[in-house]
């Protein structure tokens, strides 16, 4: 059996073993694959592994051998699932492998804006503390989360874990969720999207990106928020209107934007968020701990094993 990984570098830059997959067949890996290279590299594959490479009807028509696609991620919008099904191709994802580390990264983004650790570390290295006439100094306020109203938009596995982490800090937790109030944890109150943005001190996004909510964080919504709102996005860059968020940061309507994702990845040099003030940005690494990547790879191997044994595991189409 021929197995081809079209963009392996994002998952495994060299610190993991491919042995769990190699046990099932001949594995060929490519660090990255451009759209025009997909057919040539995948034409003899029975199984394709991919992360960001996009596949649809046009590709499936030219890949008659293909029977299984293993997506190295939870989101599976890169593959046209209906088209794959028409061609008899099974598509599997990896759910919930990164829940803990993304929740941890969300907290890190919040604390980056509240405690300014990076800022003060840089000042100390520049000699500012050594030059201080007092035992301490500050030029940016350190803020507590205690008593702050934090709204979590999307209360799935990651959103609920973020709430679990924040509750001991004695923040007031709001949830924008399809779940009824009685299904939410104690100490979490269900609210509408409008109330969340209108009343919260912090809003953190943990919802999937859909055609219905694309760029829903826009100028109209931001006009309703408390001035100085802290907005966190460890979900999808496309949930926000880049220009509107940048403008809200410049006007002070938004206090800061803390994100691990952008609408374009990697971004162009003139991406609006890159030049906006009070941005705390990481390069889509919230999911990428070695522990999480090993979990992801293990589940991909389980998905392949189940398929070969005639079963279904994490099938999304």
HEC letters along the chain: CEEEECCCCCCCCCCCCCHHHHCCCEEEECCCCCHHHHHHHHCCCCEEEECCCCECHHHHCCCCCCCEEEECCCCCCCECHHHHHHCCCEEECCCCCCHHHHHHHHHHHHHHHHHCHHHHHHHHHCCCCCCCCCCCCCCCCCCCCCCCEEEEECCCHHHHHHHHHHHHHCCEEEEECCCCHHHCCCCEEECCHHHHHHHCCEEEECCCCCCCCCCCECHHHHCCCCCCEEEEECCCHHHECHHHHHHHHHHCCEEEEEECCCCCCCCCCCCHHHHCCCEEECCCCCCCCHHHHHHHHHHHHHHHHHHHCCCCCCECC
- The pLDDT assigned to 162 comes to 97
Question: Could you confirm whether 265 is annotated as catalytic?
Answer: yes
Model pLDDT, residue 77: 87
CB contact set of 306 (below 8 Å; sequence gap of 6+)? 312, 313
In the chain, which residues have pLDDT < 70? Answer: none
Active site residue 284: yes
CA distance 176 to 163: 12
What does the pLDDT read at residue 147?
Answer: 94
Q: Given this model, what pLDDT does residue 153 score? A: 98
Which pTM was predicted? 0.90
Segment 64-99, tens digit of pLDDT? 999 999 999 998 989 999 999 999 999 999 999 999
Q: pLDDT at position 16, please? A: 94
**In whole angstroms, how large is the CA radius of gyration of the chain?**
22
Catalytic, out of 57, 126, 194, 265: 265
Q: Are 117 and 111 in contact (CB under 8 A)?
A: yes
pLDDT of 91 reads 98
Tokens of 29: 């890996």
Please tell me which residue in 236, 271, 293, 295 is annotated as part of the active site. Answer: 236
């Amino acid at each position: 059996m021929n197995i081809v990984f079209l963009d392996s570098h994002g998952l495994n830059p060299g610190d993991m073993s491919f042995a769990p997959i190699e046990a099932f067949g001949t594995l060929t890996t490519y660090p990255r694959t451009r759209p025009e290279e997909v057919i040539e590299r995948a034409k003899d594959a029975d199984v394709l592994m991919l992360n960001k490479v996009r596949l649809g009807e046009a590709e499936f028509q030219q890949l008659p051998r293909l029977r299984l696609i293993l997506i190295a991620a939870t989101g599976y919008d890169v593959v046209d699932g209906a088209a794959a099904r028409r061609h008899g191709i099974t598509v599997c994802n990896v759910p919930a492998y990164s829940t803990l580390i993304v929740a941890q990264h969300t907290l890190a983004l919040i604390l980056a804006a509240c405690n300014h650790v990076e800022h003060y570390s840089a000042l100390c290295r520049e000699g500012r503390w050594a030059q201080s006439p007092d035992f301490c100094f500050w030029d940016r306020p350190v803020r507590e989360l205690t008593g702050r109203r934090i709204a979590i938009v999307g209360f799935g596995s990651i959103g609920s874990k973020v709430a679990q982490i924040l509750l001991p800090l004695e923040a007031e937790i709001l949830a924008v969720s399809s779940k009824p109030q009685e299904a939410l944890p104690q100490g979490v109150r269900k609210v509408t999207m409008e109330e969340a943005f209108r009343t919260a001190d912090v809003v953190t996004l943990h919802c999937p990106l859909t055609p219905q909510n694309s760029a829903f964080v826009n100028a109209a919504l931001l006009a309703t928020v408390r001035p100085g709102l802290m907005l966190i996005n460890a979900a999808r860059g496309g949930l926000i209107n880049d220009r509107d968020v940048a403008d809200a940061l410049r006007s002070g309507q938004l206090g800061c934007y803390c994100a691990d994702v952008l609408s374009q990845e990697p971004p162009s040099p003139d991406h609006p968020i890159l030049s906006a003030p009070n941005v705390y940005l990481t390069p889509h690494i919230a999911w990428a701990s070695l522990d999480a990547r090993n979990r992801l790879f293990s589940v991909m191997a389980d998905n392949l094993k189940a398929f070969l044994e005639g079963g279904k595991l994490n099938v999304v189409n």
